[in-house]
C-alpha cells in the first residue's frame, strides 16, 4: 500500500521520537499553545502510555514519522470503544512530512489489524470538531460519522466527533 512507510509496534527506543512527533503535531495544528499543558505532558509520557495501551509507529527510511495509540473497550486509553470496537487515538504525523501517506498507512494498518481480532467488528475514533484535515483522512479511508456518539471533554466546551468503520 505504502511501500516506503513501515507501520510497526513501537519499541522503547522509539519513545523520544514519538513524544517529539506528538508534541510537534499537536502544537503545529494549534490544538494547544504550550507543550507544558497537563494533557500535552501526559501524551508525551510515551513509556507510561505504552504500559497501558498499544502504540504503533510509521517509519520511513528508519525514521519515526508518525504514531498512533490503539485500545479496546475497558482499557485505560479507550474513551469511546464499544465491546466490539478497536479504538485509535492520538494519530499523529510529523508536521514536516504531513500529507505524505504516513497517516493513511497507519489507518489502513489499523483497519487490517482490527479485521484479525476476534470479537472486533469495527474501528472507532474521536477527533476534534475543527480538525478538517483529519476528517478528510477518515472519510477517505472509509469512516463514517457517528454523531449520536459525539461527546465533550469533561469540564470544557470542547466537542469531540466520533467516526466509525465496520470491518
What is the pLDDT, as a whole number, of residue 104?
A: 95
For residue 1, pLDDT beyond 60: no
- Strand bridging mode 85-93 / 122-128: parallel
Per-residue pLDDT, 31: 75
- Domain ranges, ordered by start, for the chain: 5-120
Grade residue 116 by pLDDT with cuts at 50, 70 and 90. Answer: very high
| Each residue's pLDDT tens digit, 17-53 | 999 999 998 888 777 888 888 888 888 999 999 999 9
Please tell me the pTM assigned to this model: 0.92
CA separation for the pair 98, 146 (Å, rounded): 26
pLDDT score, position 98: 83
Q: Which CATH number fits domain 5-120: 3.40.50.12500, 1.10.3720.10, 3.40.630.30, 3.20.20.70?
A: 3.40.630.30
pLDDT at 124 over 90: yes
Q: Give the pLDDT confidence score for residue 111 in this predicted structure.
A: 98
User: Rounded to an integer, what distance in angstroms lies between the CA atom of residue 83 and that of residue 166?
Assistant: 13
3-state secondary structure at position 158: coil
How many angstroms separate the CA atoms of 24 and 74, rounded?
A: 29
DSSP letter for 86, please: E
H/E run at residue 28: helix 15-28
In contact, 145 and 108? CB cutoff 8 Å:
no
Amino acid at each position: 500500500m505504502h511501500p516506503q512507510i513501515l507501520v510497526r509496534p513501537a519499541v522503547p527506543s522509539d519513545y523520544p521520537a514519538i513524544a517529539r512527533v506528538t508534541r510537534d503535531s499537536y502544537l503545529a495544528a494549534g490544538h494547544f499553545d504550550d507543550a507544558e499543558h497537563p494533557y500535552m505532558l501526559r501524551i508525551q509520557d510515551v513509556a507510561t502510555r505504552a504500559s497501558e495501551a498499544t502504540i504503533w509507529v510509521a517509519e520511513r527510511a528508519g525514521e519515526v514519522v508518525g504514531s498512533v495509540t490503539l485500545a479496546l473497550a475497558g482499557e485505560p486509553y479507550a474513551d469511546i470503544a464499544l465491546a466490539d470496537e478497536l479504538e485509535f487515538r492520538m494519530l499523529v504525523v510529523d508536521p514536516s512530512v504531513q500529507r505524505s501517506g504516513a497517516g493513511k498507512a497507519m489507518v489502513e494498518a489499523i483497519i487490517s489489524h482490527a479485521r484479525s481480532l476476534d470479537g472486533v467488528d469495527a474501528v472507532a475514533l474521536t477527533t476534534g470538531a475543527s480538525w478538517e484535515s483529519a476528517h478528510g483522512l477518515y472519510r477517505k479511508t472509509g469512516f463514517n460519522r457517528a454523531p449520536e456518539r459525539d461527546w465533550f471533554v469533561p469540564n470544557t466546551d470542547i466537542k469531540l466527533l466520533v467516526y466509525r468503520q465496520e470491518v
